[in-house]
Amino acid sequence: MRYEIYIDVVFFTNLLIDYILLRFTGILFQCPRNRKRILLGAVTGALFSCGIIYLRSCLKTEIYLPALVLLHGGCAAGMLVIGCDLKRGSLLLKAVLTLYFAAFLCGGFWEVISSENLTPKMFLILAAATWFGSTALSYLMDSLRIRAKNIYPVTIFYREKGYECQGFYDSGNLLVDSVNGKPVSVGTLDILSEICSKETVKCLKHLKENPGEIQSTEVTGLHPHFIFFHSIGKEQGMMLAVTLEKLCIQTPTKVVCVDRPVLAFSLDTSAFGREYEVLLNSRLL
């Protein structure tokens, strides 16, 4: 029997499904929600599916099951690394199994609902239903996590670029910037690497040793300076602080936006939990 396969239909169908599955898996594993990365991961999966079909047509034979399982497993791992930034071995393996389990449930649900050949109209309806379902689950889990652990979704903006992460409402963080009197939140250096260029990050890290590098245009725009602080059980310390464009905090009832927020960066990663990257100043909420 001969089948006609339209490769563009295969690509866009897999792109949509892979995007939904990656977003769902990212929600469960509390990954940073970067839509561009998730889309790139979905594109990788769609291209892989097209490549497998093309390879089968060229070989004119079926690929052995063990090889097919390895290929699909490698593709799933690559999609999760790209889309959800999951890199640790055990966590990545759990995410791969979750991704396939979600695909199995989703496929079974679609098959039961459609009960016949899946038309383009029915496909779009089911895709929309799955999308809204995963989005509702996302908001529900965020709300439960916020109420239980005081963890809020946060978006940091710099040069019209947004970086999404999780922030912990720290009632003990009363740090105030002595330069402008604004409340100071504390973040990890990974945030700085995401929103700034490599050259700027390098300049900021060595600003204390080379203060002359502040003449750089991008560095000057951040208004870098040092903030002194006291922490429990420790002597006085010093952190690098910069001024960004905007900080948005998603609470269960509204979005709190702070213009020109001050964010300090700590070298002590032990101060942060695994679920958040920012210690929000208590005065912001």
Residues 163 and 142 in one domain: no
Residues 95 and 171 in one domain: no
Distance, CA of 132 to CA of 244 (rounded, Å): 33
pTM given for the model: 0.48
Chain-centroid distance of CA 206 in Å reads 28
Distance, CA of 108 to CA of 174 (rounded, Å): 51
Q: Is residue 2 part of a domain?
A: no
**Angstrom distances, CA of residue 4 to CA of 7, 16, 63:** 9, 21, 19
Report the number of distinct structural domains present in the chain. Answer: 2
Q: Which of 125, 148, 171 is the last residue of a domain?
A: 148
pLDDT digit of tens for each residue in the chain (285 aa)? 566 777 777 788 888 888 888 887 877 776 766 788 888 988 988 888 888 887 777 766 666 767 777 887 888 888 888 888 777 666 778 888 878 777 776 665 555 555 556 666 666 676 676 666 666 666 666 666 555 567 888 889 888 788 888 888 877 788 888 878 889 998 888 888 888 877 777 777 776 666 555 555 567 778 888 887 766 655 567 788 888 989 998 876 678 889 999 998 875 555 666 778 888 988 887
Residues 143 and 19 in one domain: yes
Q: Which of 123, 148, 173 is the last residue of a domain?
A: 148
Residues 202 and 268 in one domain: yes
Q: Which of 148, 175, 200 is the last residue of a domain?
A: 148
Quote the domain boundaries for residue 36.
7-148
CA torsion sign for 7, 12, 13, 18 is positive
